[in-house]
Amino acid sequence: MSLCSFVNNQCLPPVQIQTQYDSWKDCTVAALRISKELLDTQTIKDVNEAQLATKYMCTPEQII
């Protein structure tokens, strides 16, 4: 998951969430919740001026 600015089209380095989820739905719902928590830590001014949003990806774990 990364915090990104849509004004300058740049993202902070991604942070990997270490939790394993049982389904795609569980992963995306968790990502939305975490995204909200992350955005809630930012000021309204910063979010609006930089047009901040999160970017996330759910990927299946590869079993070796």
Q: How far apart are CA 44 and CA 25, in angstroms?
A: 29
Listed by start position, the domains of the chain span 2-55
- Average pLDDT over the chain reads 94
Task: Kindly report the pTM of this predicted structure.
Answer: 0.82
pLDDT of 63 reads: 66
pLDDT of 60 reads: 82
CA dist list (Å): 35 to 13, 26, 29, 30: 15, 14, 10, 8
pLDDT tens by residue, 28-55: 999 999 999 999 999 999 999 999 999 9
* 63 closest CA partner among 20, 26, 17, 34: 20
Mean pLDDT of 20-32: 95
- Give the pair of three-digit tokens for residue 31: 């990502």
pLDDT of 31 reads: 96
